[in-house]
């Protein structure tokens, strides 16, 4: 077999392709060219956008510089927000009035640019992140303009701007400690809620991974629920205060439920469980009605059900009621709370087919164990307002109610 030699390029000089030669960076010239477009069109953003679209400027290389010109009127010094040498224009975001009607045109202008050049969204992120991390270098009025711009950007759903790009850079310790972040985010909330609901705001915060960390915007010395409520009430945002109070309340309920679930699963002494509940109620200021609801849910969630065997399920449920009757009794301290407990039993028996026939037995067991009073049972029987399966349960409980009434007459 004859071997073939591979051809060689001996004596041939390989030329460097032009695309491999790095062109020198010249952001200053690019910034001057963009500024000139603003000047030539007297700041009319409609005309500026058209001129930008028809230009042959290298936006892929100088995207950051472009947004510096949009925000500040010219190029900024590398790594800062300070003006650099070169031409400047007077139609930037920071040169507008600190009002939504003055800043909205800039947001819509950027939106047009991003539709034609979507790759620039990354450059917008870079510049916004840098500016927000340097809030202390802006005047108070300029910071407010940035917050209004940011709120309008999200309100107008500016192409692909991720919320975490805005919220996370704000959490620098020195900015938070000086109160700059709280001032910025307050203006942001006010502006965003002009056209959006509190649910929209919460969804935005959730996407920005800040839904559970609103207190992180406050200086450490003021990082309390009371300070949060006082600040945003004073700033005219009671709807945000209500949301946060409900959020805190729900967290406290979950914490209490988690602690009780563990203790009941481990069959902790009843007196110790009672102490745990009392401490939770004190720490979180939980309403008595919510406590009763949680107690019943946790107690019944711990029952080991046995499939379709009705008798075993009934025995397991009644055994659980008997075991934790003292816990229920300790917090069912009024007719209103006892009635709430009956409603909880009624709802569970209605929703869970395996417990449908167990309602009268549970009620009687709670009566025998001194958790429910006779008057409460009769009130539910005659005037109960929970309609879930009421007709069926009233009929099932009728023999026991008749017995109660006969015993009362004999007494």
3-state secondary structure the chain: CCCCCCCCCCCCCCCCCHHHCCCCCCHHHHHHHHHHHHHHCCCCHHHHHHHHHHCCCCCCCCHHHHHHHHHHCCCECCCCCCECCCCCCCCCHHHCCCCHHHHHHHHHHHHHHHHHCHHHHHHHHHHHHHHHCCHHHCCHHHHHHHHHHHHHHHHCCCCCCCHHHHHHHHHCHHHHHCCHHHHHHHHHHHHHCCCCCHHHHHHHHHHCCCCCCHHHHCCHHHCCHHHHHHHHHHCCCHHHHHHHHHHHHHHHHHHHHHHHHHHHHCCCCHHHHHHHHHHHHHHHCCCHHHHHHHHHHHHHHCCCCCCCCHHHHHHHHHHHHHHCHHHHHHHCCCHHHHHHHHHHHHHHHHHCHHHHHHHHHHHHHHHHCCCCCHHHHHHHHHHCCCCCCHHHHHHHHHHHHHHHHHHHHHC
Whether residues 221 and 317 fall in one domain: no
Task: Classify 370 in phi/psi space as left (phi over 0), alpha (psi -120 to 50) or beta.
Answer: left
Which residues make Cβ contacts (< 8 Å) with residue 340, sequence separation at least 6? 289, 292, 293
The residue among 236, 268, 300 that closes a domain is 236
On whether residue 179 sits in a domain, the answer given is yes
Same domain, 207 and 263: no
Q: Is the pLDDT of residue 348 over 60?
A: yes
**Do 196 and 255 lie in a common domain?**
no
Does residue 2 form part of some domain?
A: no
Are residues 158 and 212 both part of a single domain? yes
Question: Within a domain: residue 121?
Answer: yes
| For residue 26, pLDDT beyond 90 | no
To which residue do tokens 């400027």 refer? 57
pLDDT at 87: 83
Residue 20's SS3 state is: helix
* Segment 134-190, tens digit of pLDDT: 899 999 999 999 999 999 999 998 867 888 878 888 889 999 999 999 999 999 999
Instruction: Clarify whether residues 401 and 294 are in a common domain.
Output: yes
Q: Kindly state the average pLDDT of the residues 97-126.
A: 93
Mean pLDDT on 207-216:
87
Domain count, the chain: 2
Q: Does residue 248 register a pLDDT over 80?
A: yes
Q: What is the rounded average pLDDT of the residues 393-398?
A: 94
- The stretch 186-199 carries a mean pLDDT of 94
Q: Are 211 and 321 part of one and the same domain? A: no
Residue 389 placed within a domain: yes
CATH code of the domain in which 250 resides: 1.25.40.180
Same domain, 202 and 256: no
Residues 6+ positions from 398 with CB-CB distance below 8 Å? 381
- Segment 345-360 shows an average pLDDT of 90
Name the more confident of 346 and 308: 346
Q: What is the pLDDT of residues 297-326, one digit of tens each?
A: 999 999 888 766 788 888 999 999 999 999
Q: 34 and 148 in one domain?
A: yes
pLDDT exceeds cutoff 70 at 385 = yes
- Residue 20 CA to residue 394 CA, distance in Å, equals 87
Q: Are residues 285 and 188 in the same domain?
A: no
Domain shared by 100 and 221, yes or no: yes
Average model confidence (pLDDT) across the chain? 88
Q: From 236, 255, 272, give the residue that closes a domain.
A: 236
Residue 292 is encoded by which pair of tokens? Answer: 């009763």
Domain boundary among 181, 208, 236: 236
Give per-residue pLDDT as tens, 229-238. Answer: 999 999 999 9
pLDDT the model gives residue 405: 85
Predicted local distance difference test score (pLDDT) of residue 19: 43
- Confidence bin at 23 (pLDDT 50/70/90): very low
Containing structural domain, residue 253:
246-410
pTM: 0.74
- Residues 167, 290 share a domain: no
- What is the pLDDT, as a whole number, of residue 24? 47
């Amino acid at each position: 077999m004859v071997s073939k030699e591979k051809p060689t390029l001996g004596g041939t000089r390989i030329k460097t392709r032009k695309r491999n030669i790095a062109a020198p960076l010249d952001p200053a010239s690019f910034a001057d060219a963009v500024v000139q477009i603003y000047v030539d069109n007297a700041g009319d953003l409609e005309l500026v956008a058209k001129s930008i679209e028809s230009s042959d400027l290298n936006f892929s290389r100088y995207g950051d510089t472009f947004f510096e010109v949009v925000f500040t009127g010219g190029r900024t010094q590398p790594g800062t927000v300070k003006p650099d040498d070169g031409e400047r224009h007077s139609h930037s975001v920071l040169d507008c009035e600190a009002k939504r009607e003055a800043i909205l045109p800039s947001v819509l202008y950027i939106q047009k640019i991003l539709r034609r050049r979507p790759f620039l969204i990354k450059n917008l992120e870079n510049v916004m992140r840098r500016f927000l991390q340097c809030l202390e270098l802006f005047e108070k009025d300029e910071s407010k303009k940035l917050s209004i711009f940011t709120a309008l950007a999200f309100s107008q759903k500016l192409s692909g701007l991720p919320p975490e790009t805005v919220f996370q850079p704000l959490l620098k310790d020195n900015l938070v400690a000086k109160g700059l972040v709280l001032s910025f985010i307050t203006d942001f909330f006010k502006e965003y809620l002009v056209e959006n609901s509190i649910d929209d705001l919460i969804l935005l915060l959730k996407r920005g991974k800040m839904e559970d960390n609103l207190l992180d915007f406050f200086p450490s010395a003021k990082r309390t629920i009371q300070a949060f409520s006082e600040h945003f009430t004073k700033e005219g945002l009671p709807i945000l205060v209500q949301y946060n109070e409900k959020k805190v309340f729900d967290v406290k309920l979950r914490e209490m439920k988690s602690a009780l679930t563990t203790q009941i699963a481990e069959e902790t002494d009843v007196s110790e469980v009672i102490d745990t509940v009392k401490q939770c109620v004190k720490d979180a200021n939980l309403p008595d009605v919510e406590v009763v609801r949680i107690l019943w849910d946790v107690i019944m969630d711990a029952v080991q059900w046995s499939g379709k065997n009705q008798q075993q399920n009934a025995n397991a449920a009644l055994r659980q009621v008997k075991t934790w009757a003292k816990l229920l009794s300790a917090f069912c301290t009024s007719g209103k709370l006892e009635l709430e407990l009956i409603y909880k039993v009624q709802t569970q028996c209605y929703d869970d087919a395996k417990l449908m026939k167990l309602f009268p037995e549970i009620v009687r067991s709670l009566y025998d164990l001194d958790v429910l009073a006779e008057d409460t049972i009769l009130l539910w029987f005659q005037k109960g307002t929970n309609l879930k399966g009421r007709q069926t349960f009233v009929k099932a409980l009728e023999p026991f109610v008749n017995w109660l009434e006969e015993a009362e007459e004999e007494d």
